[in-house]
């Protein structure tokens, strides 16, 4: 922890100077900057080569700080108690007098907010006088990072500090739920849909398009390892990588297991690491066996479908 403290202080100093720092979270690593600063948030977009039309998620550590930026009612306080900190992002109504940089929201009247669960990042957030805007720490459209080395792969030395918080426990981005007007899931992710439905006592619809907001990250090519992907494959040639969710009796060099026992949570955790590894090994094509479309399987399929758009 002593070591962590000095890294956290270094991160704080950089962030206070409008620099970007990569932070660990339980979902994926984020590329963080002061959400109140135009300069810092602009740097995030530049580093990621991200279109400014795609708004950022802002990370908080206390409801108190969130109240400066968004309208909070009793219903939200209850949702917060149930799900936070955790792998879920809420779309809320932005307050007019909020200090959130316009770069973050692309001038929209809503804000995506999240309370991450990682001891180092939570400690850092506690020390700051502002929340952190943080998209996934990858070049736009590429695979999200789940470790310090992944972030290094993406940005090299362009990011001044990458905090090492170990491997992300969930390994998939947060679930995004719109709480403005009719409740809707905008992105499947680390918080199981079943848990959300149970809490609200109804099926919350999932739709990645929203008539008021275009969410480029949700619809076009995304999460891409830069190699063609074939889904629902039953076999692969020797020079193609074959991704499987359950260990085979006879295994080959080009077989990559997401899990040994068809454990879909574990498979989700291993997905992005596996895609990165396959790319590093220079395979020119990826075949993926059919993955059950339930629980985390649904999220894995969503990511693979987007990654396979040509």
Q: Of the candidates 30, 131, 165, 171, which one interacts with ligand TXA according to CB under 6 A?
A: 30
CB nearer to ligand TXA: pick between 90 and 257? 90
**Consecutive H or E run containing 6:** helix 2-16
| CB-CB contact of 233 with 289 (8 Å) | yes
Structure tokens at 229: 């992907």
Classify 65 as helix, strand or coil. Answer: helix
Contact range with ligand TXA by CB under 6 A, out of 7-15, 111-119, 121-129, 298-306: 111-119
- The closest alpha carbon to 266, from 293, 300, 235, 290, belongs to 300
CB nearer to ligand TXA: pick between 108 and 152? 108
Shortest approach of ligand TXA to residue 54 CB, angstroms? 5
The Cα–Cα gap between 39 and 168 comes to 28
Structure tokens at 279: 């790319």
Under rule CB under 6 A, residue 98 binds ligand TXA? no
Under rule CB under 6 A, residue 134 binds ligand TXA? yes
CB nearer to Mg ion: pick between 136 and 174? 136
| CB-CB contact of 158 with 152 (8 Å) | no
**Residues facing residue 206 across a β-bridge:** 185
111 to 150: interface string for Mg ion, x by CB under 5 A: -------------------------x--------------
| CB-CB contact of 7 with 251 (8 Å) | no
159 binds, among Mg ion, ligand TXA, none (CB under 5 to 8 A by kind): none
CB nearer to Mg ion: pick between 41 and 136? 136
The Cα–Cα gap between 310 and 301 comes to 16
Task: Note the residues at the interface with ligand TXA (CB under 6 A).
Answer: 25, 27-28, 30, 54-57, 89, 91, 108, 110-112, 114, 116, 134-136, 173-174, 176, 186, 213, 215, 217-218
């Amino acid at each position: 922890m002593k070591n962590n403290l000095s890294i956290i202080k270094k991160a704080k100093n950089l962030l206070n100077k409008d620099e970007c720092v990569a932070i660990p979270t339980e979902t994926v690593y984020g590329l963080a900057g002061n959400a109140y600063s135009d300069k810092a948030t602009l740097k995030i977009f530049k580093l990621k080569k991200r279109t400014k039309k795609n708004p950022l998620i802002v990370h908080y550590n206390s409801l108190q700080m969130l109240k400066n930026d968004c309208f909070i009612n009793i219903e939200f306080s209850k949702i917060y108690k149930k799900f936070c900190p955790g792998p879920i992002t809420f779309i809320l109504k932005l307050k007019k007098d909020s200090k959130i940089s316009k770069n973050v929201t692309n001038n929209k009247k809503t804000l995506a907010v999240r309370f991450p669960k990682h001891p180092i990042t939570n400690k850092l957030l506690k020390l700051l006088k502002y929340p952190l805007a943080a998209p996934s720490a990858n070049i736009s459209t590429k695979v999200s990072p789940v470790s310090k080395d992944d972030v290094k792969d993406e940005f090299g030395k362009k990011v001044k500090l990458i905090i090492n918080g170990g491997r992300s426990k969930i390994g998939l981005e947060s679930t995004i739920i719109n709480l403005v007007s009719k409740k809707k899931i905008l992105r499947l992710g680390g918080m199981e849909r079943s848990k959300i439905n149970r809490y609200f006592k109804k099926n919350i619809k999932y739709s990645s398009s929203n008539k008021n907001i275009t969410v480029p990250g949700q619809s076009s090519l995304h999460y891409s390892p830069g190699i063609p992907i074939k889904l629902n494959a039953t076999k692969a040639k020797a020079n193609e990588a074959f991704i499987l969710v359950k260990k085979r009796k006879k295994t080959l060099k080009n077989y990559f297991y997401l899990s040994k026992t068809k454990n879909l949570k574990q498979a989700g955790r291993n997905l992005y690491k596996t895609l990165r590894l396959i790319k590093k090994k220079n395979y020119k094509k990826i075949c993926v066996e059919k993955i059950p479309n339930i629980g985390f399987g649904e999220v894995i399929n969503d990511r693979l479908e987007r990654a396979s758009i040509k």
